[in-house]
Amino acid sequence: MSARTLPLLFLNLGGEMLYILDQRLRAQSIPGEKARKGERGAAPSAPVMNDIISTMFNRKFMEELFKPQDLYSKKALRTVYDRLAHASIMRLNQASMDKLYDLMTMAFKYQVLLCPRPRDILLVTFNHLDAIKDFISDSPGILNQVDETFRRLIETYNPLSDGEFQLIRQTLLIFFQDMHIRVSIFLKDKVQNSNGRFVLPISGPVPWGTEVPGLIRIFNHKGVEVKRAEFTSAGNYVTPQREGSFELYGDRVLKLGTNMYSVTRPVETHMSGSSKNLASQAKENIAPNPLAKEELNFLARLLGGLDIQKPAGGDSGFRLNLFTTDEEEEHAAQTRPEELSYKVINIEATQEPARRAELSRILGELDVAEPRPGSAEKGEDLLALMDGL
């Protein structure tokens, strides 16, 4: 697995999360007193998006994220997005958060599958960041945070070889391989089958730097071309006009990673119903995880960089529903299989003994293997790192 995959996974999933939240905030027509911060005529989503993006691109958080490290479990990452989505006065219940995460993961999985070259995953990331910059174009401070991450991406990933990007792509596909959740947009566009698996096209532009299939060249032992043969390819291929820009500003050419919710369309998620799928995900929840302690410490480091501001003046915020009606949301919460839901851990303790007791209870529920050589005793790192939360 690649130790450079985590930043790309986090930023792309975060970009998809922001696309969905922006669409739902506008569709739900959040009241002005909840949506605005003294700016007359501001877009309903503006303050919520600002708070989430500012938290997402926190400098300390990004520094921790960009350190070379293995990709951790879906549960660990899901917990980060739970907290990130609640970085503003907006609140999501369990069913809506489940749906949000399903949409995020399936959208990015499809983008990874469709990338012409492994290196183009970086262009997908740039498309997400370009769109995020549009969300906060009127907030120079937050814009600088995003630009700083942009420069960090360019510095870290532009020098990597094609082989290293191939390893990153394989790591992402391993992460997504057991996720087959049906999404209405993909089903209606016939790019996803009823079992939740994607349909990959056999036509379209070939990767930059390659030729359209249809010609075979034969060379002798001296490397001289001695014969050519043509064949008819199964698809209708075209050569791209230019390569996408890998700089801070420029035409990315590739459209993967742009906002597919900019045109209002209903977006629903459905479990594929595959018994194999249910069993594999249930097994992930039940089977002891030998990396459980390391994942908790990793999670604590990430969350320690998130400066979450609670609503002032006793404002409890507003609830965002990712379903069309409250009834649909309640039905989803009641019918979703227990093994497919994620437990959200909220620690609300003002007294240090209460906090430690809660963390000890959480650690006690995990079947943690013996620490690796050189690692701290069970829970010590987590408790120390959680002190800043």
Exposure pattern of 280-309 as b/e (b: 16+ CB <10 Å)? Answer: ebeeeeeeebeebbbbbbbbbbbbbbbeee
With respect to residue 313, please indicate whether it lies within any of the assigned structural domains.
no
Measured between alpha carbons, how far is 231 from 277 in angstroms, rounded to an integer? Answer: 40
Report the DSSP pairing between strands 318-319 and 90-91: parallel
Domain that holds residue 147: 5-29+43-200+245-262+318-326
Tell me the two tokens of residue 234: 């199964």
The structural domain count of the chain equals 1
Measured between alpha carbons, how far is 174 from 281 in angstroms, rounded to an integer? Answer: 14
Sign of the C-alpha dihedral computed for residues 366, 352, 51 and 301 taken in this order: negative
With respect to residue 253, please indicate whether it lies within any of the assigned structural domains.
yes
Contact of 321 with 27, CB cutoff 8 Å: no
Q: Hunting for tokens 């990673």 — which residue is that?
A: 257
- Residue 368's identity, in one-letter code, is V
With respect to residue 384, please indicate whether it lies within any of the assigned structural domains.
no
Report the pLDDT value the prediction gives residue 90, as an integer from 0 to 100. 82
pLDDT tens for the chain, 389 residues long, are 789 999 999 999 999 999 999 888 887 765 544 443 434 444 545 788 899 999 999 999 999 899 998 887 888 888 888 888 888 888 888 888 889 999 999 999 999 999 999 999 999 999 999 999 999 988 999 999 999 999 999 999 999 999 999 999 999 999 999 899 999 889 999 999 999 999 998 888 899 989 899 999 999 999 999 999 999 888 889 998 899 999 999 999 999 999 988 765 555 556 544 434 434 444 444 344 445 555 555 555 565 555 555 555 545 555 565 656 655 656 666 566 554 444 444 433 344 455 445 444 544 444 333 333 443 333 333 333 333 43
Please compute, for residue 27, the number of CA atoms within 13 A of its CA located in the half-sphere on the CB side: 19
In this structure, the number of other CB atoms found within 10 A of the CB of residue 142 comes to 22
179 CB burial (10 A radius; 0-12, 13-18, 19+): middle
With respect to residue 220, please indicate whether it lies within any of the assigned structural domains.
no
In this structure, the number of other CB atoms found within 10 A of the CB of residue 13 comes to 22
Report the pLDDT value the prediction gives residue 269, as an integer from 0 to 100. 58
With respect to residue 377, please indicate whether it lies within any of the assigned structural domains.
no
- Residue 301's identity, in one-letter code, is R
With respect to residue 226, please indicate whether it lies within any of the assigned structural domains.
no
Q: Which residues are bridge partners to 218 per DSSP? A: 227
Tell me the two tokens of residue 131: 């769109």
Report the pLDDT value the prediction gives residue 298, as an integer from 0 to 100. 59
Eight-state DSSP code of residue 229: E
Could you write out the DSSP letters of every residue in 4-51?
Answer: T-HHHHHHHHHHHHHHHHHHHHHHHT--HHHH-SS-TT--TTHHHHHH
With respect to residue 337, please indicate whether it lies within any of the assigned structural domains.
no
Q: Tell whether pTM > 0.85.
A: no
With respect to residue 308, please indicate whether it lies within any of the assigned structural domains.
no
Measured between alpha carbons, how far is 60 from 43 in angstroms, rounded to an integer? Answer: 29
- What 3-state class would DSSP assign to 271? strand
